[in-house]
């Protein structure tokens, strides 16, 4: 049987085995998918061992998404630009690294009907996840793409790094005062400590949408902020998680899992 796994530390909480089991059932694929805990210092040897054992593909989660890049035979352009790998595809020589987070994000916006083209888009945060979503966001042709962060230097660096792909306007949270956006994307980790980034007053245009990369309990502060802004629609990042998994599954199996709503609904249960 073809074997797949997600690697990380800790890993027991991972939803990936449940997601891929549902994709396999939906698409009549016979495969196994496990969660494997790997400590950072063991990563090079364990990756080699998993290749030798015949694994066909791996998902990579914290804390290995950056370190694994140096251990790949080849790395896709989008993973290089994202500065991280979340999917490994077996080749004869070793592992090919890819990053499907941005694709998962943009697929989820499409699933929800949250438009990007011609709209003013504000991204809050400038960490690893933002690096992964900027390329597909630029490709979706927003009227303006603003990145704002607590640490003001990070958006400047991102704007410079992504210049060849399009214009990103770097801002500080405070300087957003008085602006209005059609889509606000929360990509800060603030929700994990029960907080919302400190923002100045109303920022959402009438009819605007709000999307949080976080899900579960970490989604609550941004949801409350979005409601107070009068958002037309509000979504969490569970669909992005399922979307990035679907893109990995497609790369491994050549089959597109297309009933993502059913998988997301099962996870919410
Ligand atoms: N749905 C999915 O599939 C998916 C995938 C990847 C990530 N995520 C989620 O996306 C979020 C960001 O992940 P990441 O990997 O980018 O994390 P990261 O690299 O650690 O970056 C964290 C970001 O959050 C900001 N931040 C943290 N606490 C803050 C606070 N109290 N106020 C304002 N800003 C704060 C940081 O600002 P500074 O630079 O100023 O510190 C930084 O921009 C997490 O919630 C993660 O769970 C979801």
Residue-wise pLDDT tens digits, 143-167 = 999 999 999 999 999 999 999 999 9
- Range of the structural domain that residue 74 is part of: 2-99+240-268
pLDDT of residue 229: 97
CATH of the domain at 45: 3.40.50.10860
First to last CA, the chain: 29
pLDDT in tens, 10-26: 999 999 999 999 999 99
Q: Would you say residue 106 lies in a domain?
A: no
Residue 39, domain member (yes or no):
yes
Cα 210–chain centre separation: 16
Residue 24 has a pLDDT of 98
- Average pLDDT of the segment spanning 44-58: 98
The pLDDT value recorded for residue 257 is 95
- Report how far ligand 1's centroid is from the alpha carbon of 187 (Å): 5
Q: Mutate which of 122, 129, 264 to test ligand 1's pocket (most atoms within 8 Å of Cβ)?
A: 129
Q: What is the CATH number of the domain that holds 214?
A: 3.40.50.720
Question: For ligand 1, is residue 186 a contact (CB within 6 Å)?
Answer: no
Secondary structure (DSSP) of 178-245: T--EEEEEE--SGGGGT------S--EEEEEEEEES--GGGGHHHHHHHHHTT-SEEE-THHHHHHHH
Atom of ligand 1 nearest to the CA of 154: 39
pLDDT tens-place string over residues 219-241: 999 999 999 999 999 999 999 99
Asked whether residue 216 is marked as a ligand-binding residue, the answer is no
Same domain, 117 and 189: yes
Per residue in 163-183, pLDDT tens? 999 999 999 999 999 999 999
Nearest CA to ligand 1 atom 13: 129
For 63, phi then psi, to 5°, come to: -100, 25
Q: What percent of the chain has pLDDT over 70?
A: 100
- The answer to whether 157 and 128 are in contact (CB under 8 A) is no
| Position 62 confidence tier, pLDDT thresholds 50, 70, 90 | very high
Q: What average pLDDT does the structure give for the chain?
A: 97
Query: Quick one: 67 and 148 in the same domain?
Result: no
pLDDT tens across 95-137, in order? 999 999 999 999 999 999 999 999 999 999 999 999 999 999 9
The pLDDT score that the predictor gives to residue 65 is: 96
pLDDT of res. 16:
97
65 as an active site residue: the answer is yes
Ligand 1 pocket member 173 (CB < 6 A): no
Same domain, 88 and 122: no
Counting the structural domains of the chain, the total is: 2
Locate the ligand 1 atom nearest the alpha carbon of residue 126 and give its number.
Answer: 43
Q: Is 211 annotated as a binding residue?
A: no
CA–centroid distance, 192 to ligand 1, in Å, is 9
């Amino acid at each position: 049987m073809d074997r797949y796994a997600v690697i990380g530390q800790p890993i027991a909480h991972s939803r990936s085995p449940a997601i891929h089991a549902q994709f396999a059932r939906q698409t009549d694929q016979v495969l196994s998918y496990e969660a494997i805990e790997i400590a950072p210092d063991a990563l090079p040897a364990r990756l080699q061992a998993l290749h030798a054992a015949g694994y066909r593909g791996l998902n990579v989660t914290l804390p290995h998404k950056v370190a694994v890049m140096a251990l790949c035979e080849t790395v896709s352009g989008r993973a290089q630009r994202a500065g991280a790998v979340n999917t490994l595809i077996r080749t004869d020589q070793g592992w090919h690294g890819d990053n499907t987070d941005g694709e998962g994000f943009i697929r989820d916006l499409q699933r929800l009907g949250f438009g990007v083209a011609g709209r003013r888009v504000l991204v809050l945060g400038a960490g690893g996840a933002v690096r992964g979503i900027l390329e597909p966001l630029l490709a979706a042709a927003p009227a303006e793409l603003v990145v704002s962060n607590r640490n003001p230097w990070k958006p400047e660096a991102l704007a410079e790094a992504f210049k060849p792909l399009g214009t990103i306007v770097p801002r500080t949270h405070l300087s957003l005062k008085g602006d209005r956006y059609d889509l606000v994307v929360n990509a800060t980790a603030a929700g994990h400590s029960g907080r919302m980034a400190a923002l100045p007053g109303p920022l959402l245009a009438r009819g605007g949408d709000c999307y949080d990369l976080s899900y579960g309990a970490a989604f609550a502060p941004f949801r409350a902020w979005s409601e107070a802004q009068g958002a037309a629609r509000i979504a969490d990042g569970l669909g992005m998680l399922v979307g990035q998994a679907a893109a990995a599954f497609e790369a491994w199996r050549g089959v597109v899992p297309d009933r993502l709503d059913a998988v997301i609904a099962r996870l919410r249960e």
